[in-house]
Amino acid sequence: MTRPARFKDHEGDRVVMMDRDGVINYERRDYVRRVEQFRLIHGAQRAIRLLTQHGYQVHIVSNQSAVGRGLMTQDDLNEITGHMLMRIEKAGGHIESVTYCTHTPDDNCDCRKPKTGMIDKVVSRYGFEPQRAWFVGDSLTDMAAGNAAGCRTILIARDLPPTKFATNEHAIPDFITTDLHTAVASIILRI
């Protein structure tokens, strides 16, 4: 599934924004609240290392409402983030920035995906055009945010039935794959 007329390939397109839970690490119904619960998905470290080796900036953009819900503290989230960054660096990858929305859905903030506040913040801080960046996620919320910001989007659809797209036309991804490594290989090969 592609939207070829919208995007042109530019040699300078070296930015990938991605969700965290379900993309880099396994997601939990009760949230990843402690560092002991953080489990990297097989191939995620290798995928981020490949992006780093090919000169891509990698930015994490993730809803983390467990903080706003009082299920974990900001210090808990910082510890998990430090652990993730250390493991990825140790494997040869690099994450340029991590941006979280810790609000609950009821807070109606501008940063929580599917709104674009976190993406806008990264774009403003690092000075790139969102149309020249990729957004990789595992949910329709991720796709809606990436599309609304103007990014090229890749959905990691392990368990998402294709019929889900019928309910949200704004969440249709540019590409669909099964894991981060395949998504990254496609980006590097300039699909």
Encode pLDDT of 122-173 as tens digits.
Answer: 999 999 999 999 999 999 999 999 999 999 999 998 766 655 555 677 889 9
Would 113 be classed as within a structural domain?
A: yes
pTM of the model: 0.90
138 in active site: no
Q: 126 — phi, psi (to 5°)?
A: -105, -5
Which residue range is the domain that position 140 belongs to? Answer: 12-188
Residue 33 reports pLDDT greater than 80: yes
Based on the structure, what is the number of domains in the chain?
A: 1
**Residue 121: which CATH number?**
3.40.50.1000
- Residue of 19, 138, 142, 174 with catalytic role: 19
- Residue of 9, 13, 21, 107 with catalytic role: 21
Distances (CA, A) of 166 to 130, 138, 149: 25, 17, 21
110 in active site: no
